[in-house]
Structure 1
Amino acid sequence: MNNNVLVVVDMQVGVLAMPRYDRAGKAALINQLIDVADVVIFIQHAEGDMGVGSDLWQIIPELHQPEHAHYVTKTACDAFWNTTLDALLQRMGTRAFTVCGCATDYCVDTTIKVGASKGYAITVAADAHTTADRTYASAQELIGQHNEVWAGLSLPGNPIAVIPTATLLSAWRSPR
């Protein structure tokens, strides 16, 4: 069983073509998680100009891509909907994972809520997800608001943990 499974949502050239809050800082934090994770799963959205294999569909070049990383293509905000993600996690014997990526208020949020409803123990890297400013809220407000909602989500027996990257890295690096 892999203890530190990291799911990186939609950190793609086409998704990040739209300005996102603190892209460089978020990518740096995600790289720190990638470098310590036992398993990395990249989720890639395919839609319109971001067709599978296109330049826009690719993972942004500043992210590390470990040799044995897994890749799951999705066509909806939910990384579980009509994808291989659930089967992949089951094959690995994984019932818990950490989430980071883009966009906080769309694909990250939906994947967290659906995954938790499926019984996965989910940890959110509180400072390693991003989004864009929206009409009624800034990206920073959305990130903070979603962290608060996830931490307080009512899922009896399966609360979502929302933890800063530094704390996650410390736990992942400690002897098991």
Structure 2
Amino acid sequence: MTTLQERPHTALLVIDVQQGVVASAHERDAVVATIAALVDKARAADVPVVWVQHSDEGLKQGSDDWQYVSELPRRDAEPLVHKNHGDSFEGTDLEQVLAAAGVGHLVVTGAETDACIRSTIHGAFVRGYDVTLVADAHTTNDNSKWGAPTPDQVIAHTNLYWQYHSAPGRTAAVTEAKQVTFGV
């Protein structure tokens, strides 16, 4: 029940699953495999797959670390959004890409849970989108030596609080990948 009028479609958003971002991420291989299965499921249902790729001083555009992981090949026809901020909407053309496809509901996957995932799900929600976070399809790195909770706790907490997020006319949800149907 998005607040975005005339936008009944859903898109799968794959955020920052780049070599340098997820090289040592929590349960990296399992999460990447889960995202790959969701990409296949979305493509089979003719649901748009939108790729988001981050760059900044520590993640130089064009570098090996900047590249998407090899297990997730993007098709040329699938939109690629380049970003420099945590929220995938800030300073990008993501809103225009989604509007052109009539998308009002996002199914969100990727990295890092406590940075770009959180920023983007909140950014989408305040912009009027329904947002489903795929519980087992996002990950983060271990920042506990700087006082953060361990990655499993960060992921669990994000899944917990997002399922109870609310606002008028919008829906926030958390679901396991196996329960994502894309209307099929």
Same fold (TM over 0.5): yes
Does the 8 A contact of 2:10 with 2:103 survive in 1? no
- Answering whether residue 121 of structure 2 is matched by residue 109 of structure 1, we say no
* Secondary structure class of the residue paired with 1:79: coil
Distance across 2 between alignment mates of 1:138 and 1:126: 16
Question: Which residue does 2:11 correspond to in 1?
Answer: 5
Deviation at 1:156, TM superposition (A): 2.6
Question: Which residue does 1:54 correspond to in 2?
Answer: 63
- Answering whether residue 128 of structure 2 is matched by residue 119 of structure 1, we say yes
Question: Which residue does 1:134 correspond to in 2?
Answer: 143
User: Which residue, 91, 97, 117 being the options, matches 2:106?
Assistant: 97
Total equivalences in the alignment? 171
Distance across 2 between alignment mates of 1:87 and 1:113: 18
Deviation at 1:62, TM superposition (A): 1.5
- Answering whether residue 88 of structure 2 is matched by residue 76 of structure 1, we say no
User: Per-residue displacement from partner, 1:31-57 (whole Å, max 9, x unpaired)?
Assistant: 011012121111111112422222221
Structure 1: runs of 5 or more not aligned = none
- Answering whether residue 26 of structure 2 is matched by residue 21 of structure 1, we say yes
Deviation at 1:87, TM superposition (A): 0.8
Once superposed, which parts of structure 1, at least 4 consecutive aligned residues long, lie more than 4 Å away?
A: none
Letter in 2 for 1:165: A
Aligned-CA RMSD value? 1.6
Distance across 1 between alignment mates of 2:99 and 2:79: 14
**What percentage of aligned pairs have identical amino acids?**
33
Question: Structure 2-normalised TM-score?
Answer: 0.87
Does the 8 A contact of 2:9 with 2:101 survive in 1? no
User: Which residue, 148, 153, 160 being the options, matches 1:148?
Assistant: 160
Question: Structure 1-normalised TM-score?
Answer: 0.91
* Secondary structure class of the residue paired with 2:19: coil
Does the 8 A contact of 2:110 with 2:117 survive in 1? yes
Does the 8 A contact of 1:100 with 1:124 survive in 2? yes
Q: 1:153 to 1:173 in 2, by over 3 A?
A: closer
